[in-house]
Amino acid sequence: MNINKTKQGVGIDVGEALRQKLLNKSATVGVIGLGYVGLPLAAASVRGGYLVLGFDVDPSKIATLNSGKSYIDAVSSVELAEHVRGKRMRATADFDELTSCDVIVICVPTPLSRYREPDLHYVEATSQAIAERLREGQLVVLESTTYPGTTDEVVKPILEATGLVSGSDFFIGFSPEREDPGSLRFSTTTIPKVVSGDGALAAEIVDTFYSAVVEKTVRVSSLKVAEATKITENVFRSVNIALVNELKIIYDAMGINVWEVIDAAATKPFGFMPFYPGPGLGGHCIPIDPFYLTWKSRGYGLNTKFIELAGEINSAMPSYVIARLELELDKRLGKSLSRSKLLLIGLAYKKNVSDIRESPSLEIMEALLKRGADVAYHDPHVAEIPPTREHASLVGMCSVDVDHAEAVDAVLIITDHDAIDFGRISQSAQLIIDTRNVMARKGFSGETVVRA
């Protein structure tokens, strides 16, 4: 008897049984990590017809979700409460309940170490937790952004150490998250979903699952291609943002408005895509993910010059903004930075969200405080600064009213939330350092406004 043929036949039977459960919506979906990626996916899976279990190690998140309250803007409390009342979704910290899940999706963080190397301990720990409960007929999908090869080289060996075989006893996939927090145009279900599997049968099963959850899937040939797709998307943004950040510095020295230049260039109907400068990169993707590829490339004896140069330029932008602020304070008000009262507008890393991960505002605020400045912040989406890995000294600071602009020497605009009253700031601030060109976009100009 050909053992491989027999095993393959069993795998087809197991896979087809799982695919039928996905098609008739009798499958249970488990989502591990209920943050900005996991919670919207869990809600979308309920809307797709599945029973969903959400897993997280944070007991406060579990309690909040099971009370029908959401802490993520992309999922309303009204929708969440309906799912909870209807017993279509429940959150738990008991990972033994993974045994009841037919699909398990990993949505845990993939940060960088202090040396800008991949920190995969969340992925590894989660894979180990799954392995301890792994059974025949399950699909395990990694969504966390990482370097090409992670699913094959890290997740798969941990799961196969159980003695179960991928492609025969259980199935593995990778489908990169593509969330756009704060966007009114795109959501989990409307963004095309790249899907892949460990083998053709696994890819078919992954596609079957996501086809019920999102409007469109894009199947690629391998796990590595899917992993590389996500990295490429973020490298593209990082490099192009670095380019316009560098142009901003050059054009500023020439007395040229870089935002006007970009808007004019964007009228060309081909060969140009507009990117806009800012005070530095933030969020869970663009400042971090490109360096996963940098690290992996070193294993092939290759350098990622564009990626590393882009990182250097983007990382230097907070210092550039502070230097510009210091220059204008001295030139216009005759004040040193150490004797100045300042108001930072916007703490979140992008407009209309509450996410402060890797936000340049935190770096700028901490640097200004170390220089002796008196600093406050206003952000309608961030009432109080929560604990962060790198800015412990800022924890507990609270947002002040926008009227505080009257009491300071300068206002520094970092994030251009729609909910901020920039008209009030225009009327009351004696110096405005604008890193987003929001004042000009809203029609507020004058001697007090400086683009930076």
Strand, coil or helix: what is 342?
Answer: strand
The rounded distance, in Å, linking the Cα atoms of 433 and 452 is: 6
The rounded distance, in Å, linking the Cα atoms of 210 and 188 is: 11
Question: Could you tell me how many helices (H) and strands (E) the chain has, helices first?
Answer: 15, 13
Side-chain-side CA neighbours of residue 37 (13 Å): 21
* pLDDT score for 293: 95
Q: Are residues 376 and 400 in contact, defined by beta-carbon separation less than 8 angstroms?
A: yes
**pLDDT (tens digit per residue) in 137-186:** 999 999 999 999 999 999 999 999 999 999 999 999 999 999 887 777 88
Q: Are residues 125 and 2 in contact, defined by beta-carbon separation less than 8 angstroms?
A: no
Q: How confident is the model at residue 4 (pLDDT cuts 50, 70, 90)?
A: very low
Q: Calculate ∠ Cα 147-150-156, nearest 5°.
A: 170
Assess whether pLDDT exceeds 70 at residue 9: no
> Starting at the edge strand that comes first in sequence, how are the strands of the sheet with 193-197 ordered?
89-92, 51-55, 28-32, 103-106, 139-142, 171-174, 193-197, 217-219
Side-chain-side CA neighbours of residue 346 (13 Å): 28
Q: How confident is the model at residue 10 (pLDDT cuts 50, 70, 90)?
A: low
The rounded distance, in Å, linking the Cα atoms of 100 and 409 is: 60
Q: How confident is the model at residue 12 (pLDDT cuts 50, 70, 90)?
A: confident
| Residue of 213, 230, 183, 217 lying closest to 74 (CA atoms) | 183
Tell me what the mean pLDDT of segment 81-86 comes to.
Answer: 97
Count CB atoms within 10 A of the CB of residue 446. 8
**pLDDT (tens digit per residue) in 118-136:** 999 999 999 999 999 999 9
* pLDDT score for 1: 33
Q: Which of 101, 107, 285, 398 is catalytic?
A: 285
CATH of domain 3-222: 3.40.50.720
The single residue listed with the structure tokens 């894009």 is: 218
The rounded distance, in Å, linking the Cα atoms of 248 and 265 is: 14
| Residue of 178, 39, 51, 61 lying closest to 103 (CA atoms) | 51
Domain with CATH 3.40.50.720 in the chain: 3-222, 239-451
**pLDDT (tens digit per residue) in 268-295:** 999 999 999 999 998 878 888 999 999 9
Judging by DSSP bridges, how do beta strands 193-197 and 171-174 pair with one another?
antiparallel
* 375 φ/ψ angles, rounded to the nearest 5 degrees: -120, 135
Query: pLDDT over 70 for what percent of the chain?
Result: 98
* pLDDT score for 116: 83
Q: Alpha-carbon torsion 378, 314, 431, 443, what sign?
A: negative
CATH homologous superfamily of 239-451: NAD(P)-binding Rossmann-like Domain (3.40.50.720)
Assess whether pLDDT exceeds 50 at residue 437: yes
Q: Are residues 402 and 411 in contact, defined by beta-carbon separation less than 8 angstroms?
A: no
Q: How confident is the model at residue 6 (pLDDT cuts 50, 70, 90)?
A: very low
**pLDDT (tens digit per residue) in 182-213:** 777 889 999 999 999 999 999 999 999 999 99
Give pTM, 2 decimals.
0.91
**pLDDT (tens digit per residue) in 365-385:** 999 999 999 999 999 999 999
Instruction: Please confirm, yes or no, whether 285 is among the known catalytic residues.
Output: yes
Assess whether pLDDT exceeds 90 at residue 237: yes
Beta bridge partners of 170: 166
Residue 39, class by beta-carbon neighbours within 10 Å (0-12 exposed, 13-18 middle, 19+ buried)? buried
* pLDDT score for 8: 53
* 54 φ/ψ angles, rounded to the nearest 5 degrees: -105, 135
Beta bridge partners of 217: 193
**pLDDT (tens digit per residue) in 48-71:** 999 999 999 999 999 999 999 999
Q: How confident is the model at residue 265 (pLDDT cuts 50, 70, 90)?
A: very high
Both tokens of 256, joined, read 């040229």
* pLDDT score for 2: 38
The H or E element containing residue 128 is: helix 121-131
Looking at per-residue pLDDT, the higher value among 164 and 9 belongs to: 164
The rounded distance, in Å, linking the Cα atoms of 420 and 424 is: 9
Summary mean pLDDT of the chain: 95
